[in-house]
Amino acid sequence: KRILLIQALLVSLLLFSCKKPTPKDLAKENLIPQPDSLAATDSSFDWTAKTKIYVQEKQEGSQQVANYLAKLIAPSTGFTPEVKRVTNPADKKGIALILSDDTISGDEAYTLKITEKRVVLEAHQPAGLFRGVQTIRQLLPAKIELDSLQTGPWELASGIIKDSPNYQYRGAMLDVARHFFGVEDVKRFIDLIAAYKMNVLHLHLTDDQGWRIEIKSWPNLTTHGGSTQVGGEKGGFYTQNQYSEIVNYAQERFITVIPEIDMPGHTNAALASYACLNANNKVTELYTGTKVGFSTLDTDKEITYKFIDDVIGELAALTPGEYIHIGGDESNATKKKDYISFVNRVQKIVSRHKKKMIGWADVAAAELEENSLAQFWQTKPDNAIKAVNQNVKIIMSPANRAYLDMQYDSICPLGLHWAGYVDVKKAYGWSIENFAKGISKENIVGIEAPLWGETIETMDDIEYLVFPRLPGYAELGWSKNTNKSWEEYKIRLGKQKERFGYMNINYYQSPLIPWA
């Protein structure tokens, strides 16, 4: 009897050890931003070397996203999944990317259904498929992010995710004027924001310290005005071809580039390049300090508007997106009445080039057209409320919550603190629509986190200020309010540690986060 018992025990032990490992649980996965709804079904899909990606015949848009997904997983898995066009992708065993009308509506919405046999991603638009692919990416093991060959298994927990963004505008700004960053850095920045489903890259292309975009009709802007940067080192600029390369790279990730030419203030680089733009017809010296509010274009001269027309014209031709940002902040050296007539006139120039205008909320002193946007940046809402009163919609970037260049704390080696310190909790713990009285959800297009460049010189510096705050801004813009709590979020963020590491992100290891 005893022998029988021992035998039975041995057999069951053997059986137990052969049993498949317990499947992943979709409900325990750490997604940022948090999706609308998620239901786990207690099994998993195993992505192997044989797995193919299927798209519907004649759906060009899904083919493009499928190629992106294949490329994304290739280095770490060693797989080179074939992308196949078929009639019914959802019937195949494998990954299906489908554009269809019977799923949640909205350009960026998607449904993701994972079973043991297949992964079916459906969306109305390619942008929705792309956002869904970022979810697939976060569901795969973190080592998917590595560039070197890793061993599997590459399992995805099964279940259904339905997801769509709360706000249509979710962006980050990079100031390449104070310190210049080359095309490769900007591409990495784009990849980092794309991983969190952001859809706007605002490039602050000009300021007192540098002009960074080639304008063929005014070549000195870059040859002279782009030659230096804060601290006096060599600057740089994008040729129009390089700029288009950035725009296309962003577009492939369903990110719109919004170019900013800051005016009438913040224009010393232009004033140093062309005498005619100055009231006294003399060029200024190049500027490599970090003061603001001392420069202005001459708002009385006709040549100023010819200049702006040329610049906006060339830029509009390089810009597939519908917006051009004209800055308009801190024009302390411009008389108020001149500022107002200037903004009114520039707004017309932007429309003439078939674009809509964005300005920092200071521009609400002028008469804004209803399709213009105002960007809230100050800590007081007065300017933005003036814009709301003109039926203009707001991009929320309050400095004391959303500025990526604010220091985390008093010992932070990079950044400024004129709007206070913004630790990771403060960055996440607010709500876009409740931030300012008088500016509610229907007045707001979304959120943007600006990174000003006075103190940053390298990609590592960028990453240190951007991470780990950026995923929080992405979630504030994407996820519905009902999902948000700091106590829950900080745990999800802490579990990104491995992924941040494999993505080679130089992030700030905030003590507020339980890094796991």
Looking at beta carbons only, is 292 or 340 nearer to ligand TNX?
A: 292
Looking at beta carbons only, is 413 or 511 nearer to ligand TNX?
A: 413
CB under 8 Å to 89, separation ≥6 — which residues? 54, 55, 56, 96, 97, 98, 120
Q: Is the peptide bond before 264 cis (omega within 30 degrees of 0)?
A: yes
Looking at beta carbons only, is 112 or 365 nearer to ligand TNX?
A: 365
Q: Give the integer Cα–Cα distance in Å for 154 and 143.
A: 10
Burial (CB count <10 Å: 0-12, 13-18, 19+), residue 49 = exposed
Residues at the site binding ligand TNX, with contacts judged by CB under 6 A: 292, 329-330, 360, 377, 403, 405, 416, 452, 454
Q: State the nearest-atom distance from the C-beta of 402 to ligand TNX, in Å.
A: 10
Q: State the nearest-atom distance from the C-beta of 72 to ligand TNX, in Å.
A: 34
Looking at beta carbons only, is 247 or 358 nearer to ligand TNX?
A: 358
Q: Which of 354, 335, 338, 273 lies closest to 305, judged by CA?
A: 338
Q: State the nearest-atom distance from the C-beta of 494 to ligand TNX, in Å.
A: 28
Q: Which structure tokens are listed for 153? A: 């298994």
Angle between helices 126-139 and 60-77 in degrees, nearest 10: 20
Residues 228-238: b if buried by 16+ CB within 10 A, e if exposed: bbbeeeebbbb
Q: Give the integer Cα–Cα distance in Å for 282 and 383.
A: 34
Handedness of CA 455, 461, 464, 466 (dihedral sign): positive
369 contacts 351 by C-beta, under 8 angstroms: yes
Q: Give the integer Cα–Cα distance in Å for 374 and 325.
A: 10
CB under 8 Å to 477, separation ≥6 — which residues? 33, 165, 166, 167, 169, 170, 198, 432, 446, 447
Q: State the nearest-atom distance from the C-beta of 359 to ligand TNX, in Å.
A: 10
Q: State the nearest-atom distance from the C-beta of 275 to ligand TNX, in Å.
A: 25
Cα→Cα distances 322→34, 107, 221, 255, Å: 29, 16, 24, 12
Helix (H, G, I), strand (E, B) or coil at 490: helix
Q: Which of 513, 495, 515 lies closest to 423, judged by CA?
A: 513
Cα→Cα distances 456→250, 451, 464, Å: 22, 9, 10
Bridge partner residues of 375 (DSSP): 360, 395
Burial (CB count <10 Å: 0-12, 13-18, 19+), residue 414 = middle
- Residues annotated catalytic, as ranges: 330
Looking at beta carbons only, is 318 or 416 nearer to ligand TNX?
A: 416
Tell me the longest C-alpha to C-alpha distance in the chain: 109
Q: State the nearest-atom distance from the C-beta of 444 to ligand TNX, in Å.
A: 18
Helix (H, G, I), strand (E, B) or coil at 120: strand
Q: State the nearest-atom distance from the C-beta of 416 to ligand TNX, in Å.
A: 5
Looking at beta carbons only, is 286 or 361 nearer to ligand TNX?
A: 361
CB under 8 Å to 343, separation ≥6 — which residues? 326, 328, 359, 363, 365, 366
Looking at beta carbons only, is 87 or 410 nearer to ligand TNX?
A: 410
| Helix-, strand-, coil-residue percentages of the chain, each rounded to 5 | 35, 20, 45
Q: State the nearest-atom distance from the C-beta of 404 to ligand TNX, in Å.
A: 9
Q: Which of 379, 348, 374 lies closest to 363, judged by CA?
A: 374
* H or E stretch at 11: helix 2-18
Looking at beta carbons only, is 155 or 330 nearer to ligand TNX?
A: 330
Q: State the nearest-atom distance from the C-beta of 243 to ligand TNX, in Å.
A: 21
